[in-house]
Structure 1
């Protein structure tokens, strides 16, 4: 409550200043008698911890003219930043309803009200206001940026593409990465409907929008695998890894499936061994363990993983090593390993596997768009330096 009092005190001061100026301009005692009690009534509401009533009084006292519009806008913006969206909406709606506004002032008030609606989750109302600003050709860039956020939230990817195209001409910088992901999202929708032809066409557009992206290549590889073309799928997966080696852990399952169908797992093992060390995710070593287990035996897999854990120890690697050793005939050792396994599983379950490189948002699954900062392709699988033991 104390914070709110300090927030409203400047408004009370502005109201008092405005009344003093009015009374000096009008040499009218009767006017003073009318307005002064209202001002003190507002202060009384404020001191009695009735901020809503105080707001009403001060907003009425601050008649909207060229000198007080900024005060209204600043007050509404402060309330929105504090999370008191309903109060911000009331102030901005009251401002827009006044006939004394210039076109520029009205546009600024519309922008602020649209941002209020967005904060409140009223996306339809916010969208209408931003579209109105676009038609007015005022605050167009800010309106388009907010529209893009709304369409992404609503998963209206076609509108995202149209808005991004308009925005690119204003910001003078490419939005190619975002547009590539919009095409990928449309391709995902087409695949869910079983329309692989449309999906393939959209993925080509995604690659054309941003040639450095790995997501469309991975999706193309999965489509090729669904057709039984493992050779094409494998080439696409390798191409994705060439573009961004950090993406390798995400395609390991598809790599395994491709080579399993082609009975060429030893060839994949040789390929993956080239990525061991140098900070590469432990998932690569664990994939090799799976291959050795399938093509050779558990003893060889245990020896390989034990050697890897001595060089690059991690919790995930330790957990897998426990699983392999739990199959040993020594009952006592097996029981001890099973006990250790449960503790390691608990530690892993409590730790997020992914993190946004831009804002630090942590998650347990891969998000193409960060839910926190809304950046595309910034969430990566976390490495495990904190898990390494000397």
Structure 2
């Protein structure tokens, strides 16, 4: 079986990355950005009329977080006498993106309107306005805008955000409709399937959770399926914490099914899948939740048979065997220290830009790529 879930991104040239940054794509690494800023600044000093360089320099400042300097560059272009209409439109457009990055959403909208009036590409304007709408928290309208742009993945994402708001208000039927709409728009919407799983768990139906999981496994990209299990474990932790602190009062997790029922319903679903290192790992974690230590150990060992250097599976096996070891108090203390540190290593990263996180994400906070999350099965990744 040829699983290749964690392919490394091919090395790209500096020019390619700089071009994407200037056009609004991924950010350059910090060291490359600073070097580019220095080089472009020198060129601009020698040729102040180089508008393209001005625009690129402003985008590099923005990617570096120097928003004020980026805005100064756009304004200097906008007020320049005799500037070509096309360049002025682009300057207004980039100014709008600068304002949005700075959190000045009203100013950003006005800048985009100016860019539109000067002939800036309407699709790019529409995309930026959709993002503005999302940042304002109007998720329903944002989803509609992305649907008009024929971008089903962000459309589905914001339908899920809208559904979560409805669930929080107690409007379960509207929330469920929005989730179904999200899956119709983009069947591989991992966030939509995860929210359905969470809601079924909250409702107390282990069988429904298992049924939804089976459907999700058939639709979600194989390299993203681990997100379902990570999300479920998070829900289990939240439910357990709510039970401990509720003092008998009703909470949103009060009707959730027991962990034992849930785990026994989920494991057969996992067993129907082709052997996969992460599915085996999460299956082992689920069995640890119900103190089925022998089976948990077996699943972690199977995970290592598929990938011998999977450090987290080795960590769990080591933890399971610790009680059988005779250790001095000093050694136990040092070992606990290093195990705790190992558990805090950020497990997730963006396949596109390499950003590391200890929590799941659907849209990379750095490069804004969708569904680029991956699991660090190799600690050196």
TM-score normalised to the size of structure 2? 0.67
Q: Do structure 1's residue 346 and structure 2's residue 325 form an aligned pair? A: no
CA contact (8 A) 1:133 1:140 kept: no
Equivalenced residue count is 317
1:6: which partner in 2?
42
Per the alignment, in what secondary structure is the counterpart of residue 280 of structure 1? Answer: helix
Alignment gaps of 5+ in structure 2: 1-36, 240-255
Question: Aligned Cα RMSD in Å?
Answer: 3.9
The 3 A distance-change label for structure 1 pair 183 and 386 is: same
Measure the CA separation in 1 of the matches of 2:332 and 2:271: 28
Per the alignment, in what secondary structure is the counterpart of residue 380 of structure 1? Answer: strand
Measure the CA separation in 2 of the matches of 1:377 and 1:144: 22
The 3 A distance-change label for structure 1 pair 160 and 132 is: farther
State the structure with bigger RCO (CA 8 A, min sep 6), 1 or 2.
2
Q: Do structure 1's residue 379 and structure 2's residue 373 form an aligned pair? A: yes
Measure the CA separation in 2 of the matches of 1:287 and 1:125: 49
Equivalent positions of 1:219-234 (< 5 A) are 219-234=195-210
The 3 A distance-change label for structure 1 pair 255 and 8 is: closer
1:146: which partner in 2?
128
2:319: which partner in 1?
323
CA contact (8 A) 1:326 1:334 kept: no
Measure the CA separation in 2 of the matches of 1:85 and 1:302: 50
Equivalent positions of 1:1-390 (< 5 A) are 6-11=42-47, 71-72=50-51, 74-75=53-54, 77-82=56-61, 85-86=67-68, 88-90=70-72, 92-97=74-79, 104=86, 106-118=88-100, 120-134=102-116, 137-166=119-148, 168=149, 174-244=150-220, 245=222, 246-248=224-226, 249-250=229-230, 253=233, 260=258, 263=261, 268-273=266-271, 277-280=275-278, 282-291=281-290, 293-294=291-292, 298=293, 300-301=294-295, 304=298, 307-308=301-302, 311=305, 313=308, 314-328=310-324, 331-332=326-327, 336=331, 339-349=334-344, 351-384=345-378, 386=380
The 3 A distance-change label for structure 1 pair 319 and 339 is: farther
Residues 41-65 of structure 1: per-residue CA shift (max 9 Å, x gap): xxxxxxxxxxxxxxxxxxxxxxxxx
Bigger Rg over Cα: 1
The 3 A distance-change label for structure 1 pair 382 and 158 is: same
The structure richer in helix per residue is: 1
Residues 80-114 of structure 1: per-residue CA shift (max 9 Å, x gap): 53456545544543554467566545434422433
Per the alignment, in what secondary structure is the counterpart of residue 143 of structure 1? Answer: helix
CA contact (8 A) 1:104 1:138 kept: yes
Q: Return the offset for 1:189.
A: 1.6
Alignment gaps of 5+ in structure 1: 13-69, 169-173
Measure the CA separation in 2 of the matches of 1:204 and 1:306: 35
Deviates further, 201-210 or 301-310:
301-310
CA contact (8 A) 2:70 2:98 kept: yes
2:7: which partner in 1?
none
